[in-house]
């Protein structure tokens, strides 16, 4: 999403990504059965927006990254990587965009592989990986161009059963994100689409049913690549279309279960800062505009302050993957 709030200076002693578990001593540790069990001090609310998106990305990502219409907050990807993997593990993002998951994984000493349908974004992801290595990232990463609904034919067979963690997010469609600038007739919107809108192979241009079906195919491929007990982390949020709520998180949960995964947790990743016990919303221009219009029309909408984090586990028995 596009974020247009003022930059915040780092506070003394503040972690780069303060949304992570404190010193990672509250991470989700695997039992001998391979099930992830949250230790007592692990919270289901991830405080991942103590800094704005631009502050999190500044200097860590190439400037062209801002052009993607739906970038994941780096702190969300970093939190997931540290909570569900160990150094040296392999992380996959089947819809990697500009490579946020990959960058955070290799900075954390993990290896990563991404798949991206659009050449424009995969090129930027490559640049972000190179930039991360120039900053001392120790993990290895690569980006494969192609359709993530065909993961098994797209990625090497040697990766089957090797992935420890999948972190990704489905597209929200061409009207939910973007950037704005002053124009001759007021505000002009730009960088608000995944492509030029003519390639309907992109999941962003399907309706909810088509999006859920495509995402199920992606999760089936991920399930085969995951090692037994491996984890899938998906961020998603609902949106409104013609005043009606489009419940994407529930559709993602259903798709994951149909793909043979086990739904284990439902967390919240904050898109708002926490200050003195209060949430400080950081809405995009489009969210503000939508809420103002809805309230004018008598619908009591509120600003979005979080994304749902839907967490799945791959069963140990491959036959359970359906």
| pLDDT for the residue 8 | 36
Q: Which residues contact 16 (CB under 8 A, 6 or more apart)?
A: none
Cβ 115 vs Cβ 151: under 8 Å: yes
Q: What is the rounded CA–CA span in Å between residue 52 and residue 74?
A: 10
Local confidence pLDDT in tens for the 322 residues of the chain: 333 333 333 333 334 443 333 333 334 444 434 444 444 345 699 999 999 999 999 999 999 999 888 889 999 999 999 999 999 999 999 999 999 999 999 999 999 999 999 999 999 999 999 999 999 999 999 999 999 999 989 999 999 999 999 999 988 644 444 444 455 555 444 444 445 445 555 666 667 788 899 999 999 999 999 999 999 999 998 877 776 778 899 999 999 999 999 999 999 999 999 999 999 998 877 778 878 888 898 888 888 899 999 999 999 875 544 4
| pLDDT for the residue 209 | 83
| pLDDT for the residue 43 | 65
| pLDDT for the residue 238 | 83
| pLDDT for the residue 98 | 96
| pLDDT for the residue 7 | 33
Residue 321 backbone zone (phi > 0: left; psi -120 to 50: alpha; other: beta): alpha
Q: What is the rounded CA–CA span in Å between residue 155 and residue 141?
A: 14
* First CA to last CA distance, the chain: 34
Q: What is the rounded CA–CA span in Å between residue 65 and residue 315?
A: 35
Q: What is the 3-state secondary structure (H, E, C) of the chain?
A: CCCCCCCCCCCCCCCCCCCCCHHHCCCEEECCCCCEEECCCCCCEECCCCCCHHHHHCCCCCHHHHHCCCCCCHHHHHHHHHHHCCCCCEEEECCCCCCHHHHHHHHCCCEEEEEECCHHHHHHHHHHHHHHHHCCCCCCEEEEECCHHHHHHHCCHHHCCCEEEEEECCCCCCCCCCEEEEECCEEEEECCCCCCCCCCCCHHHCCHHHHHHHHHHHHHHHHHHEEEEEEEEEEECCEEECCEEECHHHHHHHHHHHCCCEEEEEEEEECCEEECCEEECCCCHHHHHHHHHHHHCCCCCCCCCEEEEEEEECCCCHHHHC
Q: What is the rounded CA–CA span in Å between residue 146 and residue 95?
A: 10
Q: What is the rounded CA–CA span in Å between residue 79 and residue 73?
A: 10
Q: Is the pTM of this model over 0.85?
A: no
Classify burial at 81, counting beta carbons within 10 Å of its beta carbon; exposed 0-12, middle 13-18, buried 19 or more: buried
Joined tokens for residue 273: 């800062």
Classify burial at 118, counting beta carbons within 10 Å of its beta carbon; exposed 0-12, middle 13-18, buried 19 or more: middle
């Amino acid at each position: 999403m596009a974020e247009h709030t003022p930059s915040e200076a780092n506070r003394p002693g503040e972690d780069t990504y303060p949304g992570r578990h404190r010193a990672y001593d509250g991470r989700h540790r695997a039992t001998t059965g391979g099930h992830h069990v949250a230790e007592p001090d692990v919270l289901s609310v991830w405080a991942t927006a103590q800094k704005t998106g631009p502050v999190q990305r500044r200097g860590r990502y190439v400037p062209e990254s801002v052009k993607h219409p739906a970038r994941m907050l780096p702190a969300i990807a970093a939190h997931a990587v540290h909570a569900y993997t160990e150094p040296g593990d392999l992380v996959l993002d089947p819809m990697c965009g500009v490579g946020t998951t990959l960058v955070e994984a290799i900075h954390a000493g993990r290896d990563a592989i991404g798949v991206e349908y659009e050449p424009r974004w995969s090129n930027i992801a490559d640049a972000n990986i190179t930039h991360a290595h120039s900053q001392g990232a120790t993990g290895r990463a690569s980006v494969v161009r192609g359709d993530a609904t065909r993961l098994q034919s797209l990625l090497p067979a040697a990766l089957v059963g090797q992935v420890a963690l999948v972190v990704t997010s489905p597209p929200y469609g061409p009207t939910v994100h973007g950037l704005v600038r002053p124009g001759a007739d007021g505000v002009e919107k730009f960088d608000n689409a995944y492509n030029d809108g003519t390639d309907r192979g992109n999941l962003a241009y399907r309706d909810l049913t088509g999006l859920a079906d495509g995402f199920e195919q992606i999760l089936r491929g991920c399930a085969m690549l995951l090692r037994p007990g491996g984890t899938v982390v998906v961020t998603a949020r609902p949106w409104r279309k013609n005043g009606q709520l489009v419940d994407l998180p529930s559709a993602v949960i259903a798709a994951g279960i149909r793909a043979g995964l086990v739904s284990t947790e439902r967390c919240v990743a904050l898109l708002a800062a926490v200050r003195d016990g209060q949430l400080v919303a950081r809405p995009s221009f489009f969210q503000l505009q939508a809420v103002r219009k809805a309230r004018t029309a008598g619908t009591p909408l509120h600003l979005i302050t979080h994304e749902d984090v839907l967490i799945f586990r791959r069963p140990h028995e491959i036959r359970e993957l359906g």
